[in-house]
Amino acid sequence: MTAYSPELRDHFGQDVTSVCHCWRLTRRDGTAFGFTDHDRRLSVDGMVFEPETGLSASEARQSLGLSVDTVDVEGALSSDRIRDGDIEAGLYDGAVVETFLVNWRKPANFTRIRKATVGRITRSDGRFLAELESLLHQLDKPNGRYVTRKCDAELGDARCGVDLGQPAFKGVGLVEAIEGPDVVRVSGIGGIDTGWFSFGTLTWTGGLRQGRSERVLDHRSDGAFSVLTLQAGSGPQIGPGDGFTVLAGCDHSFATCKAKFANALNFRGFPHLPGNDVAYAYVTDGGVFDGGPVVP
């Protein structure tokens, strides 16, 4: 139950009230913005909340139990701080939104009535619709580790231990031509074995996508050039001359970890885990049943 200040409770008891909503939006990179459905700028809790976005909220529901409550926030893309390209690039995915109920005549009288995270964002006709999910949605996410043959670490993180700063695992190049949707012919990494950068990460250092990182689905060497297939997605147009850096990728198999990165001791999967084929198998002539490792 929301705890209102005595001043705000007294205000609710009046015949005419002057309350509005304010939203403080904090992106995962720490950038924070303030918006309000009031028609004037308000200073609340040490932050300025701007009215120019035309934000409005749908009916909010707060229920008992463990069900996930949602509320939609809609607004026009009129603020120069909320750009269509940033929404398209996913900068607001997972952002934290705090909702305040404020007496706009006395902004010092306010209370935080909700804290949520941005779920799905849809855009149409110059407007955006953001679905805010209550913190209980975290209970729907899987936690802990899965027992699988594949490694569940991200290449280069603390659990993996591979140093991606080594020259062998990093490439720098330029886009030479666009060969299809999310397929580019590049220079600078020619002569490197096919597949070396598959499942790796490409970060743009030039062009309209500068600063964005994308997953490389496939890397194919083609003489002095290479062809990269990027994960399908939306974003600004890629053009010839756009610069990038790309890091080697891993398919999370034990064989790749051992042969490509010499990192078998840090492998975070269970490669010797017998599968269903072993569970249902039976002894046959020529079979090897010496108790040796499933994966050499």
Q: Could you give all domains of the chain from N- to C-terminal order, each with its CATH number?
A: 6-140 (2.40.10), 167-247 (2.40.30)
Query: What are the pLDDT digits (tens) for 17-65?
Result: 999 888 888 887 788 888 888 888 999 989 999 886 545 554 444 444 4
Weakest mean pLDDT among 34-38, 70-74, 228-232: 70-74
Tell me what pLDDT residue 114 has: 81
Q: Which residue has the tokens 């949707």?
A: 181
Tell me what pLDDT residue 9 has: 86
Share of the chain above pLDDT 70, in %: 79
Kindly list the distances between the CA atom of residue 268 and the CA atoms of 196, 217, 241, 291, in Å, as whole numbers in the listed order.
21, 22, 39, 22
Q: Which residue has the tokens 């009046």?
A: 14
C-alpha torsion 114→119→124→125, nearest 10: 30
Q: Specify the higher pLDDT residue, 164 or 274.
A: 164
Greatest mean pLDDT among 86-90, 132-136, 250-254 lies in 250-254
What average pLDDT does the chain have?
82
Which phi and psi (to 5°) does residue 154 adopt?
Answer: -90, 135
How much is the average pLDDT of 60-85? 51
Tell me the pairing of strands 42-44 and 32-36: unpaired
How much is the average pLDDT of 191-209? 93
Contacts with 137 (C-beta within 8 Å, 6 or more apart), sequence order: 68, 117, 119
Region label for 94, one of left (φ > 0), alpha (ψ between -120 and 50) or beta (otherwise)? left
Residue 126 — very low, low, confident or very high, per pLDDT cuts 50/70/90? low
Q: Which tokens belong to 123?
A: 């855009």
How much is the average pLDDT of 284-290? 75
Tell me what pLDDT residue 128 has: 65
Cα separation, 132 vs 71, whole angstroms: 5
Task: Work out the angle at residue 207's Cα, subtended by the Cα atoms of residues 203 and 212, and round it to the nearest 5 degrees.
Answer: 30
Cα separation, 250 vs 195, whole angstroms: 9
Cα separation, 152 vs 209, whole angstroms: 29
Q: Which tokens belong to 179?
A: 């060969």
How much is the average pLDDT of 204-221? 92
How much is the average pLDDT of 160-169? 93
Residue 164 — very low, low, confident or very high, per pLDDT cuts 50/70/90? very high
Tell me what pLDDT residue 141 has: 67
Instruction: Please say if the pLDDT value at position 120 is more than 80.
Output: no
Q: Which amino acid is at 31?
A: T
Tell me the pairing of strands 70-76 and 213-222: unpaired
Tell me the pairing of strands 225-230 and 70-76: unpaired
Cα separation, 244 vs 66, whole angstroms: 45
Cα separation, 263 vs 159, whole angstroms: 11
